[in-house]
Structures are given as structure tokens and as C-alpha cells.
Amino acid sequence: MKIFKKQLTIKTKFNPASPKDQKAFNEACKILKAEGIEFEKGSETVATEFGKKLYFRYSLITDFIIWVVIPLIGLIVLI
């Protein structure tokens, strides 16, 4: 008995605010439908470059606090 199966997927990157991109996306969906290919439409939220940089810095700061600052405070309190 298999738990997983492989499926082919297509992901696109386009600007939903652009009428040109919207039209191209809808045309692609019409072609898939005409060919009888089962598909789902959906959207996904992804981080911008600014968001990635912000998260990276947040990660560094919290790691520094957890692995350096808190142990130092613990040592100072024990001494």
C-alpha cells in the first residue's frame, strides 16, 4: 500500500494586478480545460526580498539572545 504518489504540478509567477498576466493565466486555464486535464487554481503568499532580509535579521537576533545573552545572565546570577 502506497502512502504517497507523484503528480506533475505547474507553478506560475505573475502579477495578479496586471491585466496582461490575468489574461495569459485565464487562457492557460482554458487550454488545460479543453485538453481535459484536471487542475486546481490557487494562490500562495511568498515573502518579498525585504521580508526575507527582515526574517533573517530577526532570526540572528533571537539566536544571539537565546544562545549568548540568556546563558550569560544565568552565569552572572549564579556567581
Q: Residue 44 falls within a domain, yes or no?
A: yes
What's the pLDDT tens digit per position in 11-52? 888 888 899 999 999 999 999 999 999 988 888 888 999 999
Q: Residue 2 falls within a domain, yes or no?
A: no
Q: Residue 12 falls within a domain, yes or no?
A: no
| Structural domain range at position 61 | 19-78
Q: Residue 24 falls within a domain, yes or no?
A: yes
> How many distinct structural domains can be found in the chain?
1
Q: 8: closest CA among 30, 44, 37?
A: 37
Please tell me the predicted confidence (pLDDT) of residue 8.
Answer: 86
Q: Residue 10 falls within a domain, yes or no?
A: no
76 falls in which pLDDT band (50, 70, 90)? Answer: very high
CA atoms within 13 A on the CB side of 66: 6
Please tell me the predicted confidence (pLDDT) of residue 53.
Answer: 96
69 falls in which pLDDT band (50, 70, 90)? Answer: very high
**7 has pLDDT over 90:** no
Query: Ramachandran region of residue 4, left (φ > 0), alpha (ψ -120 to 50) or beta?
Result: beta
